[in-house]
Amino acid sequence: MENGAVYNETTEPEAKAPRRRPFGCTLRHLRGWRLPVKVVQTIFSFVAVVCEEIVDYCITCSGLYLFEFTSCSAFLLSLLILYVYCTDLYESLGEDKVQKL
């Protein structure tokens, strides 16, 4: 018992960690037409943010401020959606929590 022979037979070897892709990128949750639509949505919302920032002078800016808020929110939310669905965060959170989010 002092030489450890008893424990060597019953001890399981360490399991290897599963191999992950670099940065955990996966496209299995956005298949078909959903991925291109989300990418185009992100690009359009970013272009809207840039176009809004180009405006230097306006007489009634309330509509412009609403457009700025909407386009910036759309850009950030579409980036969040792409990040969640295209990385390992989807598996980490679980499908039910992602659907609630």
Number of separate domains in the chain: 1
Residue 81 covered by a domain = yes
Higher-confidence residue of 7 and 76: namely 76
Spatial distance between the Cα atoms of 29 and 90, rounded to a whole number of angstroms: 8
pLDDT digits (tens, 9 = 90+) for 67-97: 999 999 999 999 998 888 888 777 778 778 8
Residue 22 covered by a domain = no
* Domain around 51: 31-97
HEC readout, 19-68 = CCCHHHCCCCCCCCCHHHHHHHHHHHHHHHHHHHHHCCCCCCCHHHHHHH
Residue 16 covered by a domain = no
Spatial distance between the Cα atoms of 70 and 25, rounded to a whole number of angstroms: 28
Q: How would residue 4 be classed by pLDDT, with cut points 50, 70 and 90?
A: low
pLDDT digits (tens, 9 = 90+) for 27-52: 777 778 888 898 999 999 999 999 98
Residue 61 covered by a domain = yes
Whether the Cβ atoms of residue 89 and residue 83 lie closer than 8 Å to each other: yes
pLDDT value for 90: 79
Residue 9 covered by a domain = no
Q: Is the pLDDT score of 24 beyond 70?
A: no
pLDDT value for 1: 53
Residue 2 covered by a domain = no
Residue 12 covered by a domain = no
pLDDT value for 18: 61
Spatial distance between the Cα atoms of 90 and 80, rounded to a whole number of angstroms: 11
pTM over 0.85: no
Residue 90 covered by a domain = yes
